[in-house]
């Protein structure tokens, strides 16, 4: 007896040989497992077989046979993947009045309710802010910024 687990590739509950094929994640080969029609109907229920994973137990008909038969009911489920690039964790909302800006390094100083905060942004954007500040204009920073690890500064989303 073996335990199997993998992505469901093909599903055939009706017909003379009810079976399903799955992609074995250990060797990336498709394997076919035969089950009776009732077990397969119960396992899949009313869900569609697309983008599903299957796991369960199977046994060989005979020790030398390549035919595998399911033992019990296979468990069919959908795998959920968590995205690393979730905007909530990667970007931050920045809002305040810019009081200092360095066009060379891209570092700015902005006020949020009287508190000074420091941020390194795109140097070209900081240079524009510095020019506006030199003309005694009020400069606001407002938006979602994401840190770019390669450039090593925050970029506007």
Q: List pLDDT tens digits, range 100-119.
A: 999 999 999 999 888 999 99
Q: What confidence tens digit (pLDDT) does each residue in 36-60 have?
A: 888 888 887 766 767 788 899 999 9
d(CA 1, CA 71): 8
Please name the residues in contact with 120: beta carbons below 8 A apart, sequence gap of 6 or more: 105, 106, 107, 108, 152, 153, 154
* pTM, two decimal places: 0.48
Strands, DSSP E only, in 2-61? Answer: 2-12, 19-24, 29-34, 53-60
d(CA 60, CA 66): 7
**pLDDT tops 90 at residue 125:** yes
Identify any residues that bridge with 102 across adjacent strands, giving them in sequence order: none
pLDDT the model gives residue 85? 54
Proportion of the chain above pLDDT 90, given as a percent: 39
């Amino acid at each position: 007896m073996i335990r199997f687990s993998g992505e469901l590739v093909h599903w055939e509950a009706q017909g003379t040989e009810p079976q399903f094929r799955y992609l074995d994640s250990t060797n990336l080969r498709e394997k076919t497992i035969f089950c009776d029609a009732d077990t397969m109907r119960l396992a899949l229920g009313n869900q569609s077989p697309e983008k599903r994973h299957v796991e369960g137990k199977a046994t060989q008909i005979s020790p030398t046979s390549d035919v595998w038969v399911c033992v019990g009911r296979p468990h069919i489920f959908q795998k959920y993947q968590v995205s690393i690039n979730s905007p909530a964790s990667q970007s931050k909302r920045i809002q305040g009045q810019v009081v200092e800006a360095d066009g060379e390094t891209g570092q700015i100083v902005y006020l949020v309710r009287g508190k000074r905060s420091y941020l390194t942004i795109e140097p070209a954007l900081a240079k524009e802010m510095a020019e506006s500040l030199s003309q005694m204009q009020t400069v606001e920073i407002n938006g979602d910024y994401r840190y770019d690890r390669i450039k090593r500064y925050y970029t506007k989303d």
